Amino acid sequence: MKILQLVSDWKWTGPAEPMLVLMGALRARGHQVDLVCPEPPSGSNRSLWQEASLRDLGPIHPIEAMRGALMWGDTERVVRLRRWLETDELAGPYDIVHCWHGRDHVLAARALRLGRPGTPVPRETRLVRFLSSAETITAWPWNRWLFGPACDGLVCVSDAAAKANRALRRGRPVAATCGAVDLDRLDVRIDRRRIREQLGVPQSSLLIGVVARMQAYRRFDLLLDALGRVVRECPDVRLVLIGRGSQAERVVRTPARKLGVEANLIFAGYRVEDYAEVLGAMDLFTFLVPGSDGTCRALLQAAALGLPLVGTMRGAIPEIISNGQTGLLVAEDPEAIAAAWAGLLGDPVRRREIGEAARRDAFNRFRPDRFAAWMERFYQQASASPS
């Protein structure tokens, strides 16, 4: 197959890494897979374009970075994209154009003239959308077109989301996949003693890892409240926050001071080169609310690193964590979270057994080759469905 990954966001965020993992695995299966995305603005630290180039998946052409679904000048952009998709002007014609955001979806749909009654156009290229959010799509008229006839295949991040969105699809292909992570990049030696020294915590400390952008909707209020409950009985516990965010002072630091848990809070910062080492040095991992990546990439990575998992019932989380086997599912309640933490931290044997089970599960379910094989079958299904 000839597949174009079309992305309208230049940032290294959300579905960017899963998309590159998929690209590499599809190429390994013999497909031609190309990337078109925006160039990063001057002075950017990390971008999709840069990361793709580092992995030998460099974009073959730039598009403009715009956020709105409909922008001035789009007619010209749509005409140009149409030529790319169905002729050999760029690298086409393509069998599949795979979109990851609303804007690239709209541009591709318009380019392929999907959903325009009375204008039958011979078309081989099919449009597949990966929906990063696990939320149910609101059935507005615009969405009924965009996720209905303007989409040959819809990929959701959970079975629950696929089921909820099935009515909107009206019989068109819709399915769910758990995503994947680059297992090779997580194959590192974990030196827990060195990481604790680097973080400035005692060797006896028990570390609860969290990877999330510091924003209110990620429910740091619950994490801090739960931490306050746990440290009353176990003052050696530390909550290690891996990430960054402009709201850190308001969302994390100020509430932590008020709760008296500031000393038990470790800001590990945004990690790149040693991300896997730092994450793997945790004693357990907690994930409460998915961010822009509904596949919950950090949760999959923590599992692959052999960490016992604690998560809520949000989004794809309950389909990733097998309750009681690879981790614990809890209510969005500080008492419930604290009880799960205390139970695991107080039982090292159970913690190790659950972590080992999480790792086995990750290497079975979250492999790139498995993700690519699944997507390949879905592309074929989308291609076989009536346009």
CATH of the domain at 57: 3.40.50.11380
Q: Do 204 and 128 have their domain in common?
A: no
- Give the pLDDT band (50/70/90) at residue 299: very high
The whole-angstrom separation of Cα 79 and Cα 83 is 7
Q: What mean pLDDT comes out for the span 354-361?
A: 97
Residue 24 above 90 pLDDT?
A: yes
CB environment 100-134: b (16+ within 10 A), e (fewer): bbbbbbbbbbbbbebeeeeeeeeeebbbbbbbbeb
pLDDT above 90 covers a percentage of the chain that reads 74
Specify the amino acid at residue 375.
M
Q: Do 372 and 346 have their domain in common?
A: no
Mean pLDDT rounded to a whole number for the chain: 91
Q: Do 173 and 218 have their domain in common?
A: no
Q: Do 102 and 205 have their domain in common?
A: no
Residue 114 above 70 pLDDT?
A: no
3-class state of residue 174 by DSSP: strand
Q: What mean pLDDT comes out for the span 147-172?
A: 94
| Greater pLDDT, 295 or 118 | 295
Which region, left, alpha or beta, applies to residue 120 given φ > 0 means left and ψ of -120 to 50 means alpha? beta
Is 101 in contact with 9 (CB distance < 8 Å)? yes
Residues contacting residue 252 through CB under 8 Å, at least 6 positions apart = 214, 220, 224, 241, 265
Q: Do 211 and 314 have their domain in common?
A: yes
Residue 331 above 80 pLDDT?
A: yes
- Give the pLDDT band (50/70/90) at residue 116: very low
pLDDT above 70 covers a percentage of the chain that reads 95
pTM of the model: 0.91
Whats the size of the chain, residue-wise? Answer: 387
Q: Do 50 and 162 have their domain in common?
A: yes
Q: What mean pLDDT comes out for the span 50-72?
A: 85
Q: pLDDT tens-digit profile of 180-190? A: 999 999 989 99
Q: Do 267 and 156 have their domain in common?
A: no
Residue 123's pLDDT is 60
Q: Do 32 and 146 have their domain in common?
A: yes
Give the CATH number, domain containing residue 288: 3.40.50.2000
**How many Cα atoms are found within 13 Å in the side-chain-facing hemisphere of 209?**
29
Domain tally for the chain?
2
3-class state of residue 285 by DSSP: strand
Residue 115 above 50 pLDDT?
A: no
| Greater pLDDT, 89 or 311 | 311
Cα–Cα distances in angstroms (integers) from residue 380 to residues 95, 125, 303, 321, in the given order: 10, 12, 30, 29
Residue 117's pLDDT is 40
Residue 70 above 80 pLDDT?
A: no
Residue 122's pLDDT is 44
Q: Do 144 and 228 have their domain in common?
A: no
| Greater pLDDT, 118 or 357 | 357
The whole-angstrom separation of Cα 308 and Cα 354 is 5
Specify the amino acid at residue 103.
R
The whole-angstrom separation of Cα 169 and Cα 154 is 8
Residue 333's pLDDT is 96
Cα–Cα distances in angstroms (integers) from residue 149 to residues 93, 124, 231, 358, 366, in the given order: 21, 15, 54, 39, 31
| Greater pLDDT, 260 or 124 | 260
Q: Do 103 and 229 have their domain in common?
A: no
Q: Which residues span the domain enclosing 224?
A: 184-365
Q: Do 194 and 274 have their domain in common?
A: yes
Q: Do 191 and 130 have their domain in common?
A: no
264: which 2 tokens?
Answer: 């038990």
**φ, ψ dihedrals at 126, nearest 5°:** -115, 150
Residue 92's pLDDT is 67
